[in-house]
Amino acid sequence: MEDMLPAGLAQRLVSQLDGVALIVRDLPPERLTRRAAPDKWSAQENLAHLARYQRMFLDDRIPRILNEERPEFLRYRSEDDPEWPRWRGMTLERTLTELTAGRKALAERIASCSDRELARVGVHPAFGTMTLSEWVEFFLIHDAHHLYIALTRART
């Protein structure tokens, strides 16, 4: 069986949130909480979304992939998540703490998986059948997208 957790993927999982410092560094809180439009999230809300999705990925998606045969997932939408208002309302400090602690736990959980576990699959509604390793790649692409949006909202 091929190595199911490429070194680059594992490293990105550990280091991708290093970019958060650029987003929040030396900015007044109002720059992080302002919205470009009423229906667009602020930089801080994008970071809160990442923290919430990361927790859901760690506590729900990974266990289901590891313990169920080909679990099928709905697209995650914050608006449909009863926990979202609580996460959205967190202070920036609390959001950053959740992001950091959650990422450490997620990286440790994925690093502890065997190749057989990383080869287990779950079904995404748009992308179809993906191995757990591919789910981690998808997670990081989603993560990077929201980091970019948060940077754009905070710094422009």
Tens-digit pLDDT profile for residues 45-83:
999 999 999 999 999 999 999 999 999 999 999 999 999
Domain that holds residue 113: 7-155
Q: Is residue 125 part of a domain?
A: yes
Integer Cα distance of 146 and 57 in angstroms: 15
pTM, two decimals, is: 0.95
The reply to whether 34 falls in a domain is yes
> What percent of the chain is modeled with pLDDT above 90?
91
75: left (phi over 0), alpha (psi -120 to 50) or beta: beta
**57 in a structural domain:** yes
Q: Is the pLDDT of residue 1 over 50?
A: no
Per-residue pLDDT, averaged over 112-137, amounts to 97
Whole-number Å distance between alpha carbons of 148 and 55: 20
Count of domains in the chain? 1
Question: Which is it for the CA torsion 82, 88, 93, 98, positive or negative?
Answer: positive
User: Is 1 a member of any domain?
Assistant: no
Is 2 inside any structural domain? no
**CATH code for position 104:** 1.20.120.450
